[in-house]
Amino acid sequence: MKTNFFILAGIMAVLSPPAQQPQGILKIAVTTDVHGAYFPADWFTGKRISGSLAQVSSWVKEQREKPDQGLILLDNGDLIQGDPASYYSNYIDTTGPNIAARILNYMGYDAASVGNHDIEAGHPVYDKLRLEFRFPWLAANAVRISNQKPWFSPYTIIRRAGCKVAILGLITPKIPDWLPRELWAGMEYRDMIESARYWINQIEKKEKPDLMVGLFHAGIDATYGSQQPLKPLNENASRLVAEQVAGFDIIFTGHDHRHWNLKIAGPAGDSVLILGSESRAEEIAVATISSHGHGGMRGEHVKISDFIPDPDFMHQFSGYIDTVQKYVDQPVGIIAKKVSTEDSYFGPSGFTDLIHRAQLELTGADISFTAPLSFRAVLEAGTLSVKDLFKLYRFENQLYTIRLSGREILGYLNFSYSLWMKQMTSPEDLMLNMQLQPDNNWRFRNASYNFDSARGIDYIVDLTQPAGSMVTIRNFSDGSPFEAGKFYKVAMNSYRASGGGNHLLLGAGLEKTEAEKRILKSSSMDFRFLLTEWIRKQGTVDPVSGTNWKVIPEDWIQKAAPRDKARLFGASGTLN
Residue 16 confidence (pLDDT) above 60: no
The DSSP secondary-structure symbol of 303 reads E
Helix (H) or strand (E) holding 251, with range, is strand 250-253
In angstroms, rounded to a whole number, what is the distance separating the alpha carbons of residues 507 and 517?
Answer: 17
pLDDT value, residue 41: 86
Helix (H) or strand (E) holding 176: helix 175-178
Per residue in 329-370, pLDDT (tens digit) is 999 999 999 999 999 999 999 999 999 999 999 999 999 999
Say if residues 182 and 173 touch (Cβ distance below 8 Å).
Answer: no
In this structure, the number of other CB atoms found within 10 A of the CB of residue 476 comes to 16
The span from the first CA to the last CA of the chain, in angstroms, equals 60
* Helix, strand or coil, per DSSP, at residue 406: helix
The answer, yes or no, to whether residue 22 has pLDDT greater than 50, is no
User: Does 250 score more than 50 pLDDT?
Assistant: yes
Q: Is 255 exposed, middle or buried (0-12, 13-18, 19+ CB in 10 A)?
A: buried
Q: What is the pLDDT of residues 96-110, one digit of tens each?
A: 999 999 999 999 999
Three-state SS for 189-245 is ECCHHHHHHHHHHHHHHHCCCCEEEEEEECCCCCCHHHCCCCCCCCCCCHHHHHHHC
Residue 44's pLDDT band, with cuts at 50, 70 and 90, is confident
What one-character DSSP code corresponds to residue 308? P
In the chain the domains, ranked by start, together with CATH numbers, are: 23-324 (3.60.21.10), 330-569 (3.90.780.10)
Segment 167-220, tens digit of pLDDT: 999 999 999 999 999 999 999 999 999 999 999 999 999 999 999 999 999 999
- The DSSP element (H or E) to which 3 belongs, if any, is helix 2-15
What is the structure's pLDDT at 11? 35
Q: In 10 A of CB 90, how many CB atoms?
A: 26
Nearest to 163 by CA among 92, 72, 84: 72
Q: How confident is the model at residue 572 (pLDDT cuts 50, 70, 90)?
A: very low
User: Rounded to the nearest 5 degrees, what angle is found at the Cα of 502, between the Cα atoms of 500 and 508?
Assistant: 125
pLDDT at 522: 95
Cα–Cα distance for residue pair 104/249, rounded to 1 Å: 25
| Residue 138, strand partner residues | 113, 153
Summarize pLDDT for 128-143 with one digit per residue, the tens.
Answer: 999 999 999 999 999 9
Q: Which residue in 222, 261, 260, 225 sits closest to 244, CA to CA?
A: 222
pLDDT band at 546 (very low <50, low <70, confident <90, very high): confident
Distance CA 295, CA 290 (A): 5
Residue 46: predicted pLDDT: 85
- Rounded mean pLDDT, 9-30: 57
Which neighbouring-strand residues pair with 375? none
Give per-residue pLDDT as tens, 458-517. Answer: 999 999 999 999 999 999 999 999 999 999 999 999 999 999 999 999 999 999 999 999
Q: Are 464 and 424 in contact (CB under 8 A)?
A: yes
* Strand intervals (E) in 442-539: 442-444, 453-455, 457-462, 471-476, 487-493, 519-526
Instruction: Give percent above pLDDT 90 in the chain.
Output: 88
What Cα–Cα distance (Å) separates residue 49 from each residue in 39, 44, 53, 169, 297?
9, 11, 11, 29, 32
Cα gap 340→140, rounded to integer Å: 42
* Residues 42, 47: Cα–Cα separation, whole Å: 5
Assess whether the previous peptide bond of 229 is cis (omega < 30° from 0): no
The stretch 4-26 carries a mean pLDDT of 48
Is 155 in a helix, a strand, or coil? strand
Q: Is 44 exposed, middle or buried (0-12, 13-18, 19+ CB in 10 A)?
A: middle
560 and 424 Cβ atoms separated by less than 8 Å: yes
Render the burial of 334-344: b for 16+ CB within 10 Å, e for the rest: ebeeebbbbbb
Residue 425 pLDDT greater than 70, yes or no: yes
**Tell me, what amino acid is at 9?**
A
Pairing of strands 137-138, 111-113: parallel
Q: For residue range 140-174, list pLDDT tens digits in order.
A: 999 999 999 999 999 999 999 999 999 999 999 99
68 pLDDT band, cuts 50/70/90, is: confident
CA distance 92 to 114: 22
pLDDT at 4: 52
Whole-number pLDDT of residue 576: 41
What is the average pLDDT score of the chain? 93
φ, ψ (nearest 5 deg) of residue 379: -115, 120
Q: How far apart are the C-alpha atoms of 328 and 44, rounded to whole Å?
A: 8
pTM for this one? 0.88
Question: How many other CB atoms are there within 10 angstroms of residue 69's CB atom?
Answer: 18
Percent over 70 (pLDDT), the chain: 94
**CA-to-CA dists, residue 496 to 17, 127, 360, 503, angstroms:** 63, 25, 16, 7
Query: Which of 6-15, 102-111, 123-132, 566-575 has the weakest average pLDDT?
Result: 6-15
Residue partners of 364: CB distance under 8 A and separation at least 6: 401, 489
Tens digit of each residue's pLDDT (9 = 90 or more) over 271-302: 999 999 999 999 999 999 986 444 589 999 99
What is the pLDDT averaged over residues 538-550?
94
Cα dihedral 85, 89, 92, 96 sign: positive
Q: Could you give the angle at which helices 527-538 and 350-363 cross, rounded to 10 degrees?
A: 90
CB-count burial class (<10 Å; 0-12, 13-18, 19+) for 292:
middle
Residues 6+ positions from 341 with CB-CB distance below 8 Å: 349, 351, 372, 374, 375, 376, 377, 378, 448
What CA–CA distance (Å, rounded) separates 24 from 290? 6
